[in-house]
Amino acid sequence: MRIINLDENSKVNILENLLKRSPNSYGTYEAAVADILSNVKANGDAAVFEYTKKFDGFDLNESNIVVTKEEIEEAYAVIDKDLLEIIRKAIVNIRDYHIKQKQYSWFDSTENGTILGQKVTPIEKVGVYVPGGKAVYPSSVLMNILPAKVAGVKTIQMTTPPSKDGKVNPGTLVAAVEAGVDVIYKVGGAQAIAALAYGTKSIPKVDKIVGPGNIFVALAKKAVYGFVNIDSIAGPSEILVIADETANARYIAADLLSQAEHDEMASAILVTTSSELANKVSAEVEAFTKELSKKEIIEKSLENYGYILVVKDMQEAIDVANEIASEHLEIVTKDPFNVMTKIKNAGAIFLGEYSSEPLGDYFAGPNHVLPTNGTAKFFSPLSVDDFIKKSSIIYYSKEALEPIHKDIESFANAEGLTAHANSIKVRFE
């Protein structure tokens, strides 16, 4: 990995380079996505079936679009029983963590006859998109469905692309069923997002769409925002590690590579106060890469977006981490908890040498659907909050309104909204 002594110039160049990975930078695909969306909006199922034949090679129709009970039973028959047990253990951890996020309605009353409050209501229908192809991630199925279930969403519809023979990956099916999905449709790509957003004869419209996907899926979600809500526009995966001279170079190298193997666009960055550690990590990365199955992807990822940044002190390391606002942030220092208190921008924070990023991906419980590409400065991980909505509650008695009604009328008149003022005034004529 390239080692850079960080200065203001190199920091600007690195930040600009990382931002090139944003889905918002891929405007060349937007016209194709727009065509798919408008076709599905106008022609419904016919367009969905046409695109599934074109892109997935499967003759989709009304009779085979929904995954059947028999197909689910077949998935349970072929899935590795040890994996099923692990999925069930992970579900317990993920559910328990998200239960702690639940919000409840509240009301606050006063003696003069006012009641103010907030009513919390689950979203009615949610669509979960799950990628297909070579990248099959049952863990992402759990992370998207379970917080919706905990929130109390009434209907969870999942879409995922079929193989040429119309099959869906057994791990994906089993994870979805174990998490509590209501129905699974064999549809992928931008056409699936369009169907969920606009509704077709076979696929009912939802209120919100969540879940990762390729650039076409990301741009489709961006385009339908407003017809429905979405979780976020996810970019490529990323990890940043803050480490000092006490860190284990072998552990850090392994953790950096855990994200680099995702995608040629993935980012892996070490920020350290130790030049010696920087050199050791670089050597370990090189040695590990030769042994790993996704060697070519890793090499490309590190060539494009892999950095070891040497900084003068821990405060500079913290400043850089806050500026990059990484999806995953590991803190491997003498006192990681102290460093953590100074971190403002990160999707998920992992503390100490035994809290490596894959722990969060699979098992610990916090959600692994995280903000990318610097959006941790203003976005949060997927949570129960994403599957609820809030309504304000306002009640005033006549006795409570009377002493303030002239203030409200004056405020309205000051804005030139005389009908607003009149709405209050008529109650005291």
Q: Which positions are catalytic?
A: 327-328
Q: Given its phi and psi angles, is residue 325 left (phi above 0), alpha (psi -120 to 50 degrees) or beta?
A: left
**C-alpha span between 350 and 86 (Å, rounded):** 22
Q: Reduce the DSSP state of residue 12 to 3 states and report it.
A: helix
**C-alpha span between 136 and 133 (Å, rounded):** 7
**C-alpha span between 295 and 300 (Å, rounded):** 9
Cβ atoms within 10 A of the Cβ of 162, count? 22
**C-alpha span between 195 and 187 (Å, rounded):** 9
Give 206's contacts (C-beta < 8 A, 6+ positions apart).
125, 126, 127, 155, 157, 196, 197, 228
Cβ atoms within 10 A of the Cβ of 167, count? 16
**C-alpha span between 185 and 207 (Å, rounded):** 17
